């Protein structure tokens, strides 16, 4: 209890330190681009297929339009009469507003050259704008750096008529942002317009357009953006004010960021109309064909129609959160759609953001410091991070934008802080366990064992577990050692053990001990695994195959080559640190350990390099073909055990596995005939296996039983009288 209280105090202190670190990183802008990337991913996921408000339509000057219109009106820029015809057609269909995301700041050169001010096409555009009463045009309000060429032109007042008609008084707290230059529709056009909106958009520092200013200020007056201006007549706001991160447009409240910008809730599935299709319909209508209009005028009935460009040469393509190539007019149309539907993205206040950061940091630290299991210490922080990320995505679907990167960073920093604390306070005990177990298990397994290091420190405490035990022994080692000096014997064993131990570690086994020339290992502890039988058998077969490498190295040293036998058994054993306080061995004991040793001894009798028990065979989950060897009663056990010879591994070549399966079926058939006392047939089947030592054993038995049959109650068990 006292230990937990101390850890909780540390968790509280470290959580505050974590918040301070994350705040510092955030203040330096280290999370900004990552946060934008997370926002873009959510936008693409949830808004990539979002449709535009049905009360809004978009008409584009696209590449096909440039090609289709070229024979009719020439190359772009087109005569202004083209846009006049467009206004007339949309007005004919009953459009509520026609909004141009195209700057008409100057008259056509033809009119200026004749000294007439406006060309006939300019006058057509002005007339159509005035007569329709639904045309809205674009303007720009910007901030320019002063120089010798433009100094006298900066900060000039707006034309009085323009200001009277289109400016809103700045009575609602809109800050002056240093704008000092403007570009208006040419004289005559703005007088004929229903409204004029600003079109300036500023990208974030990564070049992506996510935000927009809904109103611009200039010399004390406020001017609406292009996405807002056609809605003013519909919303009839008595006042437009901005304060406390909110824009109040009449009764409508629109959330803004701390810089007064609106986070655009982009529609990712905008299906625009091509202007060439509309003009094809206009031409058909002029020709009296009202039955085959590509785009009938009533398509735009009661809609706000935005007109912009997407052709590459017109330079109005933007990178947005939902697509890398988005026509700029889509942004204005999305803003209008957001306001009409009230579909705004609401960001979390700064205070709430840092509260979230602290909560995640504190939760992470408490979960790690109060647990003694490494898996839990890693799983909980990762789960916290994953759950918070899921929460952010879920909330985004509800139009709430939660910060993603700073809270996730708090989890990671908290995790590092917690493990740093543990390294200094509990690292000593872990190092003791590491020193004890590093000689038994591979480094990959050791990191998993250390999450339960306190259990490993308790000496003389055992636990029953189900494991697979492997015994490997060098055959005829006594005669080999008699021919070598003591130094050579040690060198030979070290050469052999080095290769074999690595194979055990590669298969995540625990190396129990070396017993003279024998190796004992087991699988399933200290890390429980369901497939310990498969791992043990795979390791045994790899050891046999790598014996060729061992013998090459021994031959290079002019030592005799060696042969080994391996036995594997699976069953319940007692596992523990067995010994005294001064000397402990992490080992397994029990009858199943003895059986594994007996099986290793049988390998030379049957000529099988690896023999496994029936329990091991039954627990194999992988496709490992095995041949039955015999039904034996080993010395020291009353209960007989069926033993098997594994022939191939699942990752062997297909031909090798196929041959192993064929051999397994043949041996199985022969052994079944043997158990059914069909000595002649069993002998023939074993004879057909070729020169296998196992076949020779059973051919001899069949001959013997053929001459002198066993007792009538013979159960097929062969009793071994020696180890």
Element (DSSP H or E) covering residue 262: strand 262-263
Nearest to 68 by CA among 305, 297, 278: 278
- Band (pLDDT 50/70/90 cuts) for residue 110 is low
Computed over every residue of the chain, the mean pLDDT equals 87
- Band (pLDDT 50/70/90 cuts) for residue 583 is low
Whether residue 441 has pLDDT greater than 70: no
Distance of alpha carbon 484 from its chain centroid, rounded? Answer: 59
Query: Which of the residue ranges 8-22, 186-200, 635-649 would you say has the lowest mean pLDDT?
Result: 8-22
Does residue 126 contact residue 189 with C-beta atoms inside 8 Å? yes
Residue 426 makes CB contacts below 8 A (sequence gap 6+) with none
**CA atoms of 31 and 108, how far apart (whole Å):** 49
- Reported in sequence order, the residue ranges of 429-509 that DSSP labels E, i.e. its strands, are 462-474
What is each CA distance from 1 to 342, 550, 635, 663, 694, in whole angstroms? 54, 55, 53, 63, 64
**CA atoms of 82 and 125, how far apart (whole Å):** 8
Instruction: Report pTM.
Output: 0.60
Query: Which of the residue ranges 285-289, 437-441, 664-668 would you say has the lowest mean pLDDT?
Result: 437-441
CA-derived radius of gyration, the chain: 42
Q: If you ran DSSP here, which 8-state letter would residue 157 be given?
A: P
What is each CA distance from 515 to 453, 512, 542, 551, in whole angstroms? 27, 10, 20, 20
Q: Which fold has domain 446-621?
A: Alpha-Beta Plaits (3.30.70)
**CA atoms of 103 and 480, how far apart (whole Å):** 98
Whether residue 434 has pLDDT greater than 60: no
User: Does 586 or 284 have the greater pLDDT score?
Assistant: 284
**CA atoms of 435 and 327, how far apart (whole Å):** 65
Q: If you ran DSSP here, which 8-state letter would residue 507 be given?
A: T
**CA atoms of 568 and 625, how far apart (whole Å):** 15
Whether residue 460 has pLDDT greater than 80: no
pLDDT, position 171:
65
Q: Decide: helix, strand or coil at residue 26.
A: helix
- Reported in sequence order, the residue ranges of 295-378 that DSSP labels E, i.e. its strands, are 304-309, 317-320, 326-327, 346-347
Nearest to 240 by CA among 345, 167, 176, 178: 167
- Band (pLDDT 50/70/90 cuts) for residue 129 is very high
Whether residue 100 has pLDDT greater than 90: yes
Query: Which of the residue ranges 79-93, 171-185, 404-418 would you say has the lowest mean pLDDT?
Result: 171-185
Q: What is the pLDDT of residues 276-287, one digit of tens each?
A: 999 989 888 888
Question: How is residue 358 written in tokens?
Answer: 């602290």
Helix axes 693-707, 591-606, angle to 10 degrees: 90
Does residue 623 contact residue 650 with C-beta atoms inside 8 Å? yes
**CA atoms of 596 and 27, how far apart (whole Å):** 64
**CA atoms of 17 and 247, how far apart (whole Å):** 36
Report the DSSP pairing between strands 584-589 and 346-347: unpaired
Domain boundaries, the chain: 2-30+348-425, 54-345, 446-621, 647-723
């Amino acid at each position: 209890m006292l230990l937990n209280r101390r850890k909780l105090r540390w968790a509280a202190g470290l959580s505050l330190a974590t918040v301070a670190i994350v705040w510092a990183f955030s203040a330096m802008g280290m999370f900004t681009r990552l946060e934008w990337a997370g926002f873009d991913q959510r936008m693409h996921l949830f808004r990539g297929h979002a449709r535009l408000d049905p009360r809004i339509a978009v008409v584009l000057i696209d590449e096909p339009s440039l090609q289709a219109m070229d024979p009719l009106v020439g190359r772009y820029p087109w005569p202004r009469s083209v846009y006049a015809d467009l206004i007339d057609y949309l007005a004919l269909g009953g459009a509520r507003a026609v909004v141009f995301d195209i700057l008409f700041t100057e008259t056509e050169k033809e009119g200026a050259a004749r000294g007439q001010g406006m060309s006939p096409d300019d006058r057509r555009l002005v007339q159509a704008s005035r007569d329709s009463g639904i045309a809205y045009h674009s303007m720009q309000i910007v901030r320019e750096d002063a120089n010798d060429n433009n100094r006298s032109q900066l900060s000039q007042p707006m034309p009085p008529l323009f200001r009277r008609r289109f400016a809103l008084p700045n009575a609602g707290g809109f800050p002056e942002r240093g704008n000092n230059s403007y570009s208006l529709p040419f004289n005559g056009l703005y007088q004929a317009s229903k409204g004029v909106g600003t079109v300036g958009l500023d990208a974030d520092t990564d070049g992506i357009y996510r935000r927009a200013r809904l109103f611009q200020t200039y010399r004390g007056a406020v001017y609406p953006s292009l996405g807002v201006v056609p809605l003013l007549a519909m919303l009839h706001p008595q006042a437009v004010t901005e304060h406390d991160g909110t824009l109040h447009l009449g009764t409508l409240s629109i959330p803004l960021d701390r810089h007064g910008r609106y986070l655009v809730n982009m529609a990712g599935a905008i299906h625009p109309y091509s202007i060439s299709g509309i003009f094809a319909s206009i031409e058909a209508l002029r020709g009296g064909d009202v039955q085959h209009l590509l785009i009938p005028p009533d398509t735009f009935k009661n809609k706000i129609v935005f007109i912009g460009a997407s052709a590459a040469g017109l330079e109005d393509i933007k990178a947005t959160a939902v697509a890398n190539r988005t026509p700029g007019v889509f942004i204005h149309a999305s803003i209008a759609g957001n306001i009409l539907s009230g579909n705004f993205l609401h960001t979390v206040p700064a205070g709430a953001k840092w509260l979230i950061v602290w909560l995640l940091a504190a939760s992470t630290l408490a979960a790690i410091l109060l647990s003694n299991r490494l898996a839990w210490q890693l799983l909980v922080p990762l789960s916290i991070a994953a759950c918070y990320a899921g929460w952010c995505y879920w909330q985004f679907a509800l139009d709430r934008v939660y910060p993603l990167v700073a809270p996730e960073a708090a989890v990671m920093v908290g995790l590092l802080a917690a493990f740093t604390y543990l390294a200094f306070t509990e690292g000593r005990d872990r190092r003791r366990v590491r020193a004890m177990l590093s000689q038994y298990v591979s480094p990959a397994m050791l990191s998993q064992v250390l999450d339960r290091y306190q259990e490993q420190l308790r000496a003389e405490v055992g636990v029953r577990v189900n494991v697979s035990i492997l015994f490997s022994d060098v055959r005829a080692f006594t005669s080999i050692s008699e021919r070598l000096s003591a130094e050579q014997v040690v060198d030979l064993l070290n050469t052999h053990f080095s290769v074999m131990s690595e194979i055990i570690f590669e298969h995540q086994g625990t190396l129990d001990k070396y017993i003279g020339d024998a190796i004992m290992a087991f699988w399933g502890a200290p890390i429980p695994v369901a497939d310990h039988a498969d791992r043990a058998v795979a390791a045994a077969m790899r050891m046999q195959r790598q014996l060729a490498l061992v013998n090459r190295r021994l031959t290079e040293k002019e030592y005799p080559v060696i042969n080994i036998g391996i036995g594997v058994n699976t069953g319940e054993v007692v596992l523990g640190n067995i010994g005294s306080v001064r000397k402990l061995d992490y080992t397994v004991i029990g009858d199943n350990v003895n059986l594994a040793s007996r099986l290793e001894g049988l390998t030379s009798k049957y000529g099988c390099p690896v023999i496994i028990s029936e329990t091991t065979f039954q627990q194999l989950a992988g496709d490992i073909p095995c041949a039955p060897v015999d039904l034996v009663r080993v010395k020291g056990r009353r209960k007989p055990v069926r033993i098997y010879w594994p022939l191939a591994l699942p990752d062997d070549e297909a031909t090798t596995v196929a041959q192993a399966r064929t051999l397994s079926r043949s041996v199985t058939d022969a052994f079944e005939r043997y158990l059914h006392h069909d000595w002649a047939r069993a002998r023939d089947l074993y004879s057909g296996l070729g020169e296998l030592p196992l076949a020779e054993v059973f051919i001899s038995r069949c001959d013997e039983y053929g001459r002198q049959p066993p007792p009538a109650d013979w159960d097929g068990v062969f009793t071994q009288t020696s180890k």
